[in-house]
């Protein structure tokens, strides 16, 4: 399977939103996190992020299979892996790992990466830890169903 990445353009916002809705709806139903779940993100918000930050589309064998959104802090050396998703039909194929490797390589100026993920998504935890991220100990309780766990990764820069 060939995995390819492409910087998102403004006209990709609808496709990205549809992918987020498909990918995050099961988590919305599970956690009832209506205010923070990417499933409920507004099109205008995605458009703004595409223009102001870094949004990449993920393709598997030339088919849209997900997206990854990277937010750069004003200092240009601290980055946040804001949102990453792989469509359900493309999960468990190593695409998420390749996407993280890609953005870390393309943004090689970063000295630190941070990300957040639900407390009970052990597969996410495993992936992030395999990629060198460590839990910071910081958590945010969103509601009775969801606690967010923070991870970070220092780079060699």
Q: Is residue 40 part of a domain?
A: yes
| pLDDT tens digits, one per residue of 30-45 | 999 999 999 999 999 9
**CATH code at 72?**
3.40.630.30
CA 123/CA 25 separation, integer angstroms:
18
| pLDDT tens digits, one per residue of 80-108 | 999 999 999 999 999 999 999 999 999 99
| Domain count across the chain | 1
Q: Is residue 136 part of a domain?
A: no
Q: Residue 82 has what pLDDT?
A: 93
Q: Is residue 11 part of a domain?
A: yes
Q: Residue 157 has what pLDDT?
A: 60
Q: Is residue 150 part of a domain?
A: no
Q: Is residue 86 part of a domain?
A: yes
Domain residues for 12?
A: 3-111
DSSP 8-state code for residue 2: -
Residues 6 or more apart whose Cβ sits within 8 Å of residue 49: 55, 69, 71, 82
Q: Is residue 121 part of a domain?
A: no
Ordered mean pLDDT values, 10 residues apiece, the chain (157 residues): 97 97 96 94 96 96 97 87 96 96 94 96 96 97 97 87
Q: Is residue 148 part of a domain?
A: no
pTM: 0.93
């Amino acid at each position: 399977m060939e995995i390819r990445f492409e910087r998102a353009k403004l006209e990709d916002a609808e496709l990205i939103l549809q992918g987020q809705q498909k990918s995050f709806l099961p988590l919305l139903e599970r956690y009832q996190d209506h205010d923070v779940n990417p499933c409920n993100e507004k099109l205008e918000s995605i458009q703004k992020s595409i223009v102001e930050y870094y949004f990449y589309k993920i393709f598997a064998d030339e088919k849209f299979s997900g997206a990854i959104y990277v937010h750069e802090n004003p200092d240009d050396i601290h980055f946040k892996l804001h949102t990453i998703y792989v469509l359900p039909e493309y999960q468990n194929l190593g695409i998420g790992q390749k996407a993280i490797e890609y953005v870390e390589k393309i943004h090689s100026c970063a000295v630190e990466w941070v990300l957040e993920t639900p407390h009970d998504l052990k597969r996410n935890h495993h992936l992030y830890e395999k990629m060198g991220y460590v839990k910071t100990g910081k958590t945010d309780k969103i509601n009775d169903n969801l606690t967010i766990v923070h991870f970070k990764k220092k780079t060699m820069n």
